[in-house]
Amino acid sequence: MTVRVRLAPSPTGTLHIGTARTAVFNWLFARHHGGEFLLRIEDTDRERSRPEFTADILDGLAWLGLGWDAEPVIQSERIEAHRAAINQLLEAGLAYRCYASEAELEQMRERQKASGSAPRYDNRHRNLTPEQEQAFRSEGREAVVRFRIDDGATICWNDLVRGEMRWSGSDLGGDMVIARRAPADQVGDPLYNLVVVVDDAAMAISHVIRGEDHIANTAKQLLLYEALGLPLPVFAHTPLILNQEGRKLSKRDGVTSVGEFRAMGYTAEALVNYMTLLGWSPPEGMGERFTLKEAAEVFSFDRVNRAGARFDWDKLNWLNAQVLHDLSAAELRQALVPLWRAEGWQAPGSDESGAGSREAWELELAELLGPSLTTLRDGMEQARPFFERPELDAGASQQLDADGATAALTALLGQLDENGSLSAEQAQELLAGAAAAAAVKKGVLMKSLRAALLGSLKGPDLITTWRLLHASGEDRARLMLAVAQG
């Protein structure tokens, strides 16, 4: 069998982490079997669907490296096929028009609530006589189309994640609406369960892989496959992503869209790696860090857990840091420069490449910050004092007030060559010379220099920091300020 799977997002919001994780499992399964990963944009909710959400979803999938194999199917363009399926069910007597008004249905639900029974449609219009139907029509009533669900039906399937599944028709809420309310001589807008079945069959989907919140839908959809005489796909229901409290991850948990993770400075590589681990355990010996391609080689649903997967920020941060630490200075520079530019920051140096160029300076800064980064955003925050003059924090102010600090910095300033580059050896010599001249320990001078340059006692390697700030003359400017304040 050719494996053909699909992701069927509704463009009613940006790409959600849950949808992206479903995409990951579909993609891995397709690639593992040399099959196809397809997309279907489920845009039939006309009020809530927006082209910009479709763009965000496609953009997010592409960014994550989850390429798809054909032009996405646009569900709203397939409405004729959906209507034809509804008509087929109506003609076969497997579906019927229900004329019950909203108010009547509400009354029915109230009564069920009062008697403590579960809400369900009581199938009241299942067997209307032609005369009864005529009477409703002449009242001008509109109708929905409902699909018959026998209470006695048993629905079974073998789920790739959850194993043997069994549902009773009586647990599906009564006959199901498959077309929205419309004038009784028409068929209204087709609804989710019906259109999914029609489209999955038309796209020859072999495996439907989606979140376990769709399990009850699967039971209903299986009845529709049977009624329409369509071949069945295999189903796999993946565990939900849970928050720290063990509840389904929702908007209230803050960050939930792929774009938000991206803006926070997570790399696509770390995020897909992490999403793969949300519900799937890699085989023994594989470790937790891998590429999508490596995961695809060994992916199977045997190793997908049934239990919900708790979102673990520490693990995501760990993976992201690993990815960033493994980048070359050139790759890191490439990732960071757009963030720096967005802040309006310009590196010193000439346009040409090579020594003394802007590019060489950026490369050196990227290399300096690299080892301490967890996210790319850290690479923006930590780069800030290299582009913007910092305020002195309390520790730095205190340091500059220490005995001998100002004298040593003044001695250093006196020896500092304004022009030309500053090599590491020259920097060391200057420090030794100034410390001796001011009769302070070199350590005191170094701490004071750091305070003057970065406004803080913490930061990356001091000599490199100094050399970078020397390139724009900022070292002199900041030393003079520090001396004046000290």
Question: Hey, which residues between 257 and 316 contact ligand GLU (CB under 6 A)?
Answer: none
Residue 8 sits in the site that holds ligand GLU (CB under 6 A): yes
Structure token pair of residue 363: 């490369």
Q: Which is nearer to ligand GLU, 10 or 206 (CB)?
A: 10
Please give the Cα distance from 37 to 26 (Å, whole number): 7
* Out of 210, 333, 447, 478, the residue judged to bind ligand GLU by CB under 6 A: 210
For the CB of residue 356, give the shortest distance to ligand GLU in the complex, in Å.
Answer: 54
For the CB of residue 6, give the shortest distance to ligand GLU in the complex, in Å.
Answer: 7
Stretch that binds ligand GLU, among 8-16, 129-137, 256-264, 347-355 (CB under 6 A): 8-16
Q: Is 184 left (phi over 0), alpha (psi -120 to 50) or beta?
A: alpha
For the CB of residue 221, give the shortest distance to ligand GLU in the complex, in Å.
Answer: 8
* Residue 154: strand, helix, or coil: strand
For the CB of residue 196, give the shortest distance to ligand GLU in the complex, in Å.
Answer: 5
For the CB of residue 158, give the shortest distance to ligand GLU in the complex, in Å.
Answer: 18
* Out of 83, 125, 148, 214, the residue judged to bind ligand GLU by CB under 6 A: 214
For β-strands 163-168 and 154-159, DSSP reports them as antiparallel
Q: Which is nearer to ligand GLU, 20 or 396 (CB)?
A: 20
* Out of 3, 10, 227, 374, the residue judged to bind ligand GLU by CB under 6 A: 10
**Binding-site size, ligand GLU (CB under 6 A):** 7
* Out of 3, 4, 5, 9, the residue judged to bind ligand GLU by CB under 6 A: 9
All residues at 6 or more sequence positions from 396 whose CB lies less than 8 Å from its CB, including other chains? 450, 451, 452, 454, 455, 456, 457
Stretch that binds ligand GLU, among 7-15, 240-248, 255-263, 360-368 (CB under 6 A): 7-15
Question: Hey, which residues between 60 and 89 contact ligand GLU (CB under 6 A)?
Answer: none
Residue 42 sits in the site that holds ligand GLU (CB under 6 A): yes
Token pair 């681990």 is found at 277
Please give the Cα distance from 286 to 175 (Å, whole number): 48
Q: Which is nearer to ligand GLU, 10 or 276 (CB)?
A: 10
Q: At what angle do helices 215-228 and 79-91 cross, to 10 degrees?
A: 70
For the CB of residue 214, give the shortest distance to ligand GLU in the complex, in Å.
Answer: 6
352-355 long-range contacts, Cβ below 8 Å, gap at least 24? 355/421
Please give the Cα distance from 429 to 440 (Å, whole number): 15
For the CB of residue 8, give the shortest distance to ligand GLU in the complex, in Å.
Answer: 4
With contact defined as beta carbons under 8 Å apart, do 160 and 32 qualify?
no
Q: Which is nearer to ligand GLU, 42 or 56 (CB)?
A: 42
Q: Which is nearer to ligand GLU, 42 or 175 (CB)?
A: 42
Structure token pair of residue 372: 């301490």
Spot the catalytic one: 113, 248, 251, 441.
251
Please give the Cα distance from 172 to 229 (Å, whole number): 21
Stretch that binds ligand GLU, among 3-11, 29-37, 117-125, 354-362 (CB under 6 A): 3-11
Q: Is 248 a catalytic residue?
A: no
| CB-neighbour burial class of residue 19 (10 A; exposed 0-12, middle 13-18, buried 19+) | buried
What count of other Cβ atoms lies within 10 Å of the Cβ of residue 92? 11
Residue 233 sits in the site that holds ligand GLU (CB under 6 A): no
Q: Which is nearer to ligand GLU, 10 or 406 (CB)?
A: 10
Please give the Cα distance from 463 to 485 (Å, whole number): 23
With contact defined as beta carbons under 8 Å apart, do 445 and 409 qualify?
yes
DSSP annotation of 362 = H
Please give the Cα distance from 484 to 96 (Å, whole number): 88
With contact defined as beta carbons under 8 Å apart, do 368 and 461 qualify?
yes
For the CB of residue 54, give the shortest distance to ligand GLU in the complex, in Å.
Answer: 12
Residue 249 amino acid letter: L
Stretch that binds ligand GLU, among 4-12, 81-89, 105-113, 266-274 (CB under 6 A): 4-12
Q: Which is nearer to ligand GLU, 43 or 475 (CB)?
A: 43
Phi, psi (degrees; rounded to nearest 5) at 107 = -60, -45
Q: Which is nearer to ligand GLU, 232 or 444 (CB)?
A: 232
Stretch that binds ligand GLU, among 5-13, 173-181, 223-231, 435-443 (CB under 6 A): 5-13
For the CB of residue 75, give the shortest distance to ligand GLU in the complex, in Å.
Answer: 8
Site string for ligand GLU, 144-183 (x = CB under 6 A): ----------------------------------------
Residue 196 sits in the site that holds ligand GLU (CB under 6 A): yes
Structure token pair of residue 339: 């963030």
| Torsion 469-471-472-476 (CA) sign | positive
Please give the Cα distance from 198 to 79 (Å, whole number): 10
All residues at 6 or more sequence positions from 139 whose CB lies less than 8 Å from its CB, including other chains? none
Residue 18 sits in the site that holds ligand GLU (CB under 6 A): no
Please give the Cα distance from 46 to 12 (Å, whole number): 9
Q: Which is nearer to ligand GLU, 200 or 475 (CB)?
A: 200
Annotated active-site positions, please? 251
Residues that bind ligand GLU (CB under 6 A): 8-10, 42, 196, 210, 214
